[in-house]
Chain A
Amino acid sequence: MTQTTTQTVSAPAEHIEYVMRLGDNALILGQRLSEWCGHAPVIEEDLALANMALDLVGQARLLLTHAGKLEGKGRDEDQLAFLRVERDYRNITMMEVPNEDFGRTTVRNVLYSAFQILLWQRLATSSDTELAAIAAKSLKEARYHFNHSAEWVIRLGDGTEVSHAKTQAALDYLWPYTAELFAANPTDEAVSAAGIGPAWGELEADWEAMLLPVFAQATLVVPARTPFKTFGKFGRHSEHMGHLLATMQYMQRTYPGAQW
């Protein structure tokens, strides 16, 4: 379906960066979740993970299309999704780390969907009306993702010895990566000052308040913060990103300009 596009003058770099970051988070997590298709432990979860991937890829399409318009250089969603180089992707590092197992996948989903709920709530009143519309839509989807993942985290954490150990290991592994969500940076400051959206750091207290009861009920121990830092937001990714992109970009790189 085509949307009427008007070429606009380029928006401030921070505004583009902020939207691109959201688009890339959705795209890369959507790509990771889609790897589960046909491999989940039970068919209901296969459907659930594929559906969540679909929601995220759909959000990525809207966000990257919007970022492309803000940029005003004529790049569409496909060019942005499939034809950038690794350093130009703005997703946080946590999105790209491998799925590992159902436990890690589920814990990552709960960590990020809780953040999404808080962020989309705030962005629903953004001065960027297109972003506000995307936020209102995505918020409904994020609530489903959070409820579903939180139920699973409780079931796994408070489950068998094995499921508990795997889920605790997943939380231990992922928790340090969440620091990147809230770290202060010039993009957030500029966007917040312009009334476009919150600096992500503003959401940290509410995010913890949403998650700590879930982890407590799941009998999981939240690790202490460490000096560990990641910088995917700034295009400095982990060793996993190149492999993910090689898979995701394969078709467009092999058949440039291919259309459905």
Chain B
Amino acid sequence: MLTEAQAWTLLDGVPDPEVPAVSVVELGIIRELHCADDTVTVVVTPTYSGCPATEVIGLAIRDTLLEAGAGRVELQTRLDPAWTSDWIGEAAREKLRAYGIVPPSGKAAVGGAQPIHFVKKTLTCPRCGSNDTERLSEFGSTACKATYRCKHCLEPFEYFKPI
């Protein structure tokens, strides 16, 4: 039988399939974890409604825990409160940057009106450190990222959207 501490450590080794630089724990989507008898119950909050990684993550969590000796794994989905990129920890933000993805700016959860006119948000290029960058698209290769390019080193890079 696994202890809760062991189970947390195991899940911290499960990478996000679309952003493998961080684990599902670092991403903040594992909200709760309980071990009782031989059953591990994991409560997951999905990042985006339509994120195709959600099901892959579920499978990876199940496989990892079963392989480590859990008798049964029960996955529960929790929508409330909605996931926010503010749940990504400091260490994970640095890992994202090192991986070439600019981490989300904080306090995304503060909603309200947002300016709609060609938002010029200055990001620092994760490769060369230049601030001479521009947004190409509010959307990127996955639901959670936007696409930018650096006008100094001429490389494209991604920005983890604050949401």
Contact B44 A147 (CB under 8 A): no
Q: Does A173 contact B (CB under 8 A)?
A: no
Q: List 10 A-B contacts (CB under 8 A).
A: A2-B77, A3-B77, A4-B76, A53-B50, A55-B49, A59-B50, A62-B49, A133-B82, A143-B114, A154-B117
How many chain A residues touch B (Cβ–Cβ < 8 Å)?
41
Interface size on B, residues (CB 8 A): 35
Majority DSSP secondary structure for residues of A touching B: helix
Q: Is B119's CB under 8 angstroms from A147's CB?
A: yes
Complex contact B79–A133 (CB within 8 A): yes
Count how many pairs of residues, one from A and one from B, have CB atoms less than 8 Å apart in the complex.
98
- The answer to whether A132 touches B50, judged by C-beta atoms less than 8 angstroms apart, is no
Tell me which residues across on chain A come within 8 A of B80, comparing CB atoms: 129, 132-133, 136
Q: Is the CB of A1 within 8 A of B137?
A: no
- Which of B76, B82, B114, B143 touches A3 (beta carbons < 8 Å)? B76
Write out the residue numbers on chain B whose beta carbons fall within 8 Å of the beta carbon of A3.
76-77
| Alpha-carbon gap, A151 to B118, bound state (A) | 6
Q: Which residues of A are in contact with B by a Cβ distance under 8 Å? A: 1-4, 30, 44-45, 47-48, 51-59, 61-62, 129-130, 132-134, 136-141, 143-144, 146-148, 150-151, 154, 214, 217
Chain B interface (Cβ < 8 Å from any Cβ of A): 44, 48-52, 54-55, 58, 75-77, 79-84, 111, 114, 116-119, 136-143, 147, 161, 163
- Chain B residue numbers with a CB within 8 Å of A140 are 82, 84, 111, 163
* Cross-chain contact B82 with A147 (CB below 8 angstroms): no
Q: Are A147 and B77 in contact (CB under 8 A)?
A: no
Nearest CB on B from A10, distance (A): 22
Q: How far is the CB of A145 from chain B (nearest CB, A)?
A: 9
Given contacts A132-B80, A134-B79, A147-B119, contact A56 B50 (CB under 8 A): yes
Q: Is the CB of A54 within 8 A of B119?
A: no
Apart from the given pairs A138-B49, A148-B139, A150-B116, 20 other A-B contacts in the complex at a CB distance below 8 Å:
A1-B55, A1-B77, A2-B75, A2-B77, A44-B139, A47-B140, A47-B141, A54-B50, A55-B48, A55-B50, A58-B51, A61-B49, A62-B49, A130-B79, A134-B49, A140-B111, A144-B138, A147-B114, A151-B117, A217-B117
